[in-house]
Chain A
Amino acid sequence: MRDTFTLITVILAGVGLLYFGSIGAGPYWQIVALNLAMWIALTQSWSLFSGLTGYISLGHAVAYGLGAYMMATLFSEWPIWVLVPMGGLVAGVFALIVALPVLRVRGPYFVILSFGLSELVKYVLLVVETALGQSSRLLFGAPGTQTLLVWMLALAAVATLLRHVIGLSRFGQGLVAIREDETAAETIGIPITRYKVLAFALSTVIPGMVGAVMALRSTYFEVLQVFSPTISFTIVTIAIIGGAGDARGPVLGAVFLIALSETLRGVSPQLYLVFLGLSLIFFVRFVPNGLTGLLRGGGR
């Protein structure tokens, strides 16, 4: 309980710092803050399912993409405050529908299947968009970075809090038992299928909303770009670097990634990717529990 209270304080401080700090520092820093908040929101949500259950999803780009698609197609008809939640809803409902068949496989099979599903959705939508005669969509009159930053910070804050609260709940403990040993978990009374499906669907809602907001940021929608597997891979990279054991990991991982990209991207984009790859190998090999694992080890 005191833990949760501390976390809320930290979240509020972080949100305040990012908002007022970046507003004061200028447009470049607003975009950095927006990206940081975006990765935090995405990775916290992912960790809610993959971190707790151990089912590593490489398909969360679908949630992001569906949210963005909602926004791109209906932007001129409906207000943003309807479309952002709707992006989350559509992503969640889609996850619910595919969850039962997809969650029947575990381990590497699930990883591959989630990735394949994400590619499948991408190319189906590409066909649909082509048939509609839309190679891309433009969004005119989207709000400025400052408004989007407010949305994104709110999403990051809610995702962080949700990850923390669920991690401590009975539901979260059940998910951890599933990660440890699914057969033993169901034998001691955990309704594993219901829990997995629920966690999977829940973990896609905020990414759907993030996608919707990001469509407004780029004011341009193209299927291949929005359903890009890079989004899924980056989420996993952040989780590996930061650690997925609690709500701190995704924050630390996202800060690391943004710091690295902002330092090196200006110098050379290739160099950024090289360093990202190197850090990934380094963390997998030497810091398997990520930056939070280091914190925990150091505290002892």
Chain B
Amino acid sequence: MSLLDIQNLTKTFGGIKALDAVELYVEEGSVHGLMGANGAGKTTLFSIVAGNQSLTSGTISFAGTRIDGKRPDQICHAGIARTFQIVRPFSGMTVRQNVEIAVLFGRKQTPVRGEIAGITDEILTQCGLIGLSDQSSGTLTLATRKRLEVARALGTDPKLLMLDEVMAGLTPTEVDDMITALLTLKDRMGLTILIIEHVMSALNRMSDCITVLHHGQLIAHGTAKTISANPAIAEAYFGTDDGDEETD
């Protein structure tokens, strides 16, 4: 049984099908890449799984339980955390408070007051943010804000971590750091990762398998190697004569 099991997922906005009968299985313990041009529906898929948006039809099961139609806080407590492509730190709070509040609310079993600081410290250390703990999160650089997104998501103690372009806009060195940090975290915390990324080399290095979306439809699924060799993917990314409308 897959940890996350999405069947026939369809989402329409007016007459436009943002997602069209998408099927996706994420195996426990794997890193599953999700790629596709802008407007392919990747972020919409994340938002629906996390409960931030409703679905039009289809089913989503997590660890054998249906989660479609549940509220974001319930889905969070079930063990799914996501980051936001456009980062959303609580900018009036410090880095530490951002993670602390996720620890305080995100877990099925709320830790007792005395444990929260310890758990928060550990996550901040693992994400390389411990030195910035008391800095206001509104003043961070993009790279550290992306890390904070990850740290806050980890604060909820997820089984499945959904990362939405956490490497976009980072320098190659920062990308390397992020990949190392994520793989370490995955092993240490026993995570399953579903990751949206445009940085192809990162997906190649990290993912066990990759799913490609195009105009809301699943067009390919396979290992990094088979995906890179697939001519349909290049076409989806770079377009043919009809020209792709770019939204996102």
Contact = CB atoms under 8 A, between A and B. Distances in A.
B71 A188 contact: no
Interface in A174-204: 174, 176-177, 179-181, 183-193
Given A181-B88, A184-B84, A189 B156 contact: yes
Contact of A170 (B88, B104, B152): B104
How many residues of B sit at the interface, in one of the four size bands?
Answer: 20 to 34
Interface residues of A, number: 19
A62 to B, nearest CB: 29
A181 B90 contact: yes
Given A180-B90, A180-B91, A181-B88, A189 B105 contact: yes
Contacts of A180: 90-93
A183 B73 contact: no
Contacts of B156: 188-189
A228 interface: no
A189 B73 contact: yes
Interface in B137-159: 152-153, 155-156
Interface in B85-99: 88-93
Contacts of A185: 90
A279 interface: no
A192 B73 CA distance: 8
Most chain A C-beta atoms within 10 Å of own C-beta, residue among B81, B92, B105, B153: B105
The prevalent SS among residues of A at the interface is helix
B220 to A, nearest CB: 29
Nearest to A190: B105
Interface string A92-109: 000000000000000000
A177 B102 CA distance: 10
A185 B71 CA distance: 12
Given A173-B104, A177-B101, A187 B72 contact: yes
A187 B82 contact: yes
A192 B74 CA distance: 11
Which of A173, A174, A176, A188 is packed against the most chain B CB atoms within 10 Å? A188
Given A174-B105, A186-B71, A189-B156, 9 more contacts: A180-B93, A181-B89, A183-B88, A187-B81, A188-B76, A188-B105, A188-B155, A188-B156, A190-B105
